[in-house]
Structure 1
Amino acid sequence: MTTQIATICPINGAQLETYPSMSDAAIESAVSKGYAAAKSWGQRPLDERVAAVRRLAEELRKQAGAFAELITSEMGKVSAEAAGEMEKSAVTALYYADNASRILGDEKVSIDGVDAWVSYEPIGLVLAVMPWNFPVWQVMRFAIPSITAGNGIVLKHSPNVTGCALALQQLFVDAGLPENLVTTLVVAEPDVPAVSDRLINDDRIAAVTLTGSNRAGAAVGAAAGRASKKSVLELGGSDAFVVLDDADLDTAVAAAVKARFHNAGQSCVCAKRFIVSEAIAQKFTEKFVTATKALVVGDPRQANTQVGPLARGDLRDALNRQVRESVAAGAVLLTGGKAVDGPGFFYEPTVLGATAPGMVAFDEETFGPLAAIAVAKSDDDAIRLANASPFGLSISVWSKSKDRAFAVAKGVTSGAAFINAVTASDARIPFGGTKKSGYGRELAAAGIREFTNARTYWAVEQKA
């Protein structure tokens, strides 16, 4: 196994820390302790678990400043957005604390002569393979409901945010949750496939959840299938942002810029393909390009910065390849299109026009500040273009007619549809995708129940 993990600051390319990769024996010890902790935790009353989740919300807010600095250092997120991860996680913890008894309470079933109900019971220790782009929120949106439901967690986070991963493990302890209930495994990237496969096959691991690439999702999903274990996969996205010809143009443009360039475009739910009605395409494009050029790119620790660096150099190289190949295929470069000179992994906010199915920027997930504009001849054509993707996470449709926008959204396969709003996740609504964007749901009632045993009870009185 690889023995060392180094974290790199994407702002300047400097090395931050080195961490020893865990040995097989250390991983075995962590799983053994986690399994015991999960078993004990699942036997505790729900009100006790809820009280712990309330304390977790308090701790998230208490440690928000230190975590925000760590997030920015390790993956380059703009400071305000980094702090936002902590607050969103705290709000989610309070949502589950307030609603767990309703969601997880026994559901009575009316059957003549039978006392029947459904009970939502913990399943044990869950393996979570998490990505770097939201180092806290991605973990917490799974971990909070899972812990509330009575499960334990083995976290395999991305190596480039190892500092965040270890701090998260300590955060749960600081909030008064049991030691070993949430355990971080420090595993170097080359060793992740073998370690993940071995853990999924371990009888002490009850289920697995992954947020990440389609390649990783395919491997984890296949391993879970072979082991007959529950899996939830939240994978790539290439969300369509559809602007119909009756939309308020200024409102749609402002939302489009926010939807694409939030977190430097490094989000599965960032809008990536902008499908615009032909009648307004020129005006939309002009306004969108102007607004994109006005974005402030720079040190994410500075208050006026709107777009920080990409998290790693290889990600910047991959994005540049997608731009180059799309232009070679006929896309028009309207602004940006190259790395920013100087230290760090910065890339210019980029807009491509005249994109279409068959071009890399339209067909692939673009994980960075790259927007692809395509023109639709009609509402039906907008539906065709939006569906011309292997992904199906979300769609955002803009129109002064909600009915018209709804009709377009209804024609597109996705896990969510937002009308005159930017796609977002919220603890009160389920989150997840279709097609190659994965399966299963996080958040809301659906998310907390994903990793429970929906157990049927059926009781009949015996005659004396």
Structure 2
Amino acid sequence: MFSSVNPATGEAFATHRPHDDPEVEGRLALAAETYRRWRTSNLDERTALLGAIADRFAADKQRLAEMAVREMGKTLTSAIAEVEKCAAAFRYYAEAGPALLADAEVTTASGRAVASWHALGPVLAIMPWNFPYWQVVRFVAPAIMAGNTGLLKHASLTQGCAALLEEVVLEAGAPRGLFQNLAIEARRVAPLLADDRIVAATLTGSEGAGAQIAEAAGRALKKVVLELGGSDPFVVMRSADIAEAAAVAVTARTQNAGQSCICAKRMIVHADVYDDFMARFSAGMRDLAIGDPMAADTAMGPLSSTAQRDEVLQQAADAVAEGATAVLAPEKIDRPGAWMTAGILTDLPPDGRFAREEIFGPVASVWKVADLDEAITRANDVPFGLGSSVWTTDPAEQASFARDLECGMVAVNAMLASTPEAPFGGVKRSGHGRELGPWGLHEFMNLKAVMLPRGEKSGQVGD
């Protein structure tokens, strides 16, 4: 059984029965059957459904958000914002999708070729608990627009959210089998990837999970999109507004209790403004409002589980043992649930384990650098390459960061955040492939070339 445990209290409040093998087979067969019809559905039908799903998310945002708070501890304010962002993504694909699927034509030596986008089939999504709705919607909204069907293997912590996702999509009028939840353990994913009815997979999760999914999919020669860990740099240069940068750095490090792949985890600060930044950043982290995640004035709730909290505290303790200085030591809060305070580490040995390891919780590392070149070198000196945030008003520095940072995303004078219109994804051990925008729509589609001789009547040949 899967248990939903409120990390704010440590109390289990629901159990969820895993689907047995016949149920999984039935859902997989239904996904394949529904795909055969949905792949040739009218684009107007797809956009109407996406709009209806967006409306359901907006109407049910309180119910959806409260489930996320109870299952993984994020604040109600951030959970509502997450659900609203999901509605925006469905609306984006409803509005932009048809144009993104239009045919493209090129002239060839013998005539012309029409490039058209076609659906692939049922796609399996393996998703984490930290953004239990948004991570899924980044996959399912473009899947519906593309003409695919989707199967969700969600995290064990958030099975209540998973069930609500399927419920809301069905309530919006989706045909049965278009999007289904698979309540299964991780060990049961590999056989699904080997099944010919699953055409591709997408995973958001850890580096280790990504390697396992890539290996299983590779044996079956199936495409995967992997959005994995990150140790994102937050670079502050001399020309930055230090007060604003420090305030945003607190939010960037502690949003979702620090449990976000694109949280700013390493603050890289120019020596000339280091002391000013540290004074402001330390005060902000120390004064962080930690409390009831349902309260409007709470900035950070508990972590997702006591196991996750204990792992983060142990990482911080090990970093200090390795030579780091705890400018602000993270501490366990002595109350039921997965509570801890925020922390700041400095003086990490550059070649040590914790200079290059992701800490998935509200503990920041801060680095002092002498110039632009050292800032870029330090930012790139990790095995990850997901996102980054750079703070400078110098156009030449902005251009250098945009060109030279080894990552999939760069935010300039702002906290990095995903948006439905722009590509999302990373390089190096942060994964490969892209979600969102036209790029996420096309990841799980077949770009088919239709070769036509001169004089053949043109027209839309895609789905």
TM-score normalised to structure 1 length: 0.96
Quote the Cα distance in structure 1 between the aligned partners of 2:403 and 2:387.
Answer: 11
1:196-244 Cα distance to aligned partner (Å, 9 max, x none): 1101110000100000001110010111111111110000000000111
Q: 1:61 maps to what in 2?
A: 58
1:417-461 Cα distance to aligned partner (Å, 9 max, x none): 111111111111100000000000000011000011001101226
Report the Cα offset of residue 409 of structure 1.
Answer: 3.8
Quote the Cα distance in structure 1 between the aligned partners of 2:306 and 2:170.
Answer: 34
Q: 8 Å contact 2:322–2:349 — kept in the other structure? A: no
Matched, 1:310 2:303: yes
Matched, 1:460 2:453: yes
Quote the Cα distance in structure 2 between the aligned partners of 1:58 and 1:461.
Answer: 46
SS of the equivalent of 1:116 reads: strand
| Equivalent residue runs for 1:60-209 within 5 Å | 60-111=57-108, 113-188=110-185, 192-193=186-187, 195-209=188-202
Matched, 1:432 2:425: yes
Q: CA RMSD in A?
A: 1.3
SS of the equivalent of 1:373 reads: strand
Report the Cα offset of residue 111 of structure 1.
Answer: 2.8
Quote the Cα distance in structure 1 between the aligned partners of 2:354 and 2:70.
Answer: 29
Query: Match for 2:418: what amino acid?
Result: S
Q: 2:267 maps to what in 1?
A: 274
Quote the Cα distance in structure 2 between the aligned partners of 1:24 and 1:61.
Answer: 34
Q: Which runs of 5+ in 2 are unaligned?
A: 457-463
Report the Cα offset of residue 34 of structure 1.
Answer: 1.2
Quote the Cα distance in structure 1 between the aligned partners of 2:401 and 2:113.
Answer: 43
SS of the equivalent of 1:304 reads: coil
SS of the equivalent of 1:296 reads: coil
Q: 1:341 maps to what in 2?
A: 334
Q: 8 Å contact 1:402–1:419 — kept in the other structure? A: no
Q: 2:365 maps to what in 1?
A: 372
Q: Which runs of 5+ in 1 are unaligned?
A: none
Q: 8 Å contact 1:145–1:447 — kept in the other structure? A: yes
Matched, 1:393 2:394: no
Report the Cα offset of residue 174 of structure 1.
Answer: 0.6
Identity %: 39
Quote the Cα distance in structure 2 between the aligned partners of 1:109 and 1:408.
Answer: 36
Report the Cα offset of residue 356 of structure 1.
Answer: 4.3
Q: 2:443 maps to what in 1?
A: 450
Q: 8 Å contact 1:361–1:372 — kept in the other structure? A: no
Quote the Cα distance in structure 1 between the aligned partners of 2:109 and 2:148.
Answer: 34
Q: 1:414 maps to what in 2?
A: 407
SS of the equivalent of 1:306 reads: coil
1:307-342 Cα distance to aligned partner (Å, 9 max, x none): 011001111111011100111112111124211110
Report the Cα offset of residue 74 of structure 1.
Answer: 0.4
Q: 8 Å contact 2:247–2:280 — kept in the other structure? A: no
Q: 1:218 maps to what in 2?
A: 211
Quote the Cα distance in structure 1 between the aligned partners of 2:333 and 2:395.
Answer: 41
Q: 1:301 maps to what in 2?
A: 294
1:46-86 Cα distance to aligned partner (Å, 9 max, x none): 12111110111111101101001101000001001000111
Quote the Cα distance in structure 2 between the aligned partners of 1:298 and 1:462.
Answer: 70
Q: 2:460 maps to what in 1?
A: none
Q: 1:402 maps to what in 2?
A: 395
SS of the equivalent of 1:416 reads: coil
Q: 1:284 maps to what in 2?
A: 277
Quote the Cα distance in structure 2 between the aligned partners of 1:211 and 1:8.
Answer: 22
SS of the equivalent of 1:456 reads: strand
Query: Match for 1:382: what amino acid?
Result: A
Q: 8 Å contact 2:267–2:365 — kept in the other structure? A: yes
SS of the equivalent of 2:447 reads: strand
1:343-389 Cα distance to aligned partner (Å, 9 max, x none): 11011011112234334443111111111101112211111111110
**Aligned residue pairs, count:** 456
Matched, 1:10 2:7: yes
Report the Cα offset of residue 114 of structure 1.
Answer: 2.0
Quote the Cα distance in structure 2 between the aligned partners of 1:117 and 1:409.
Answer: 34
Quote the Cα distance in structure 2 between the aligned partners of 1:67 and 1:359.
Answer: 42
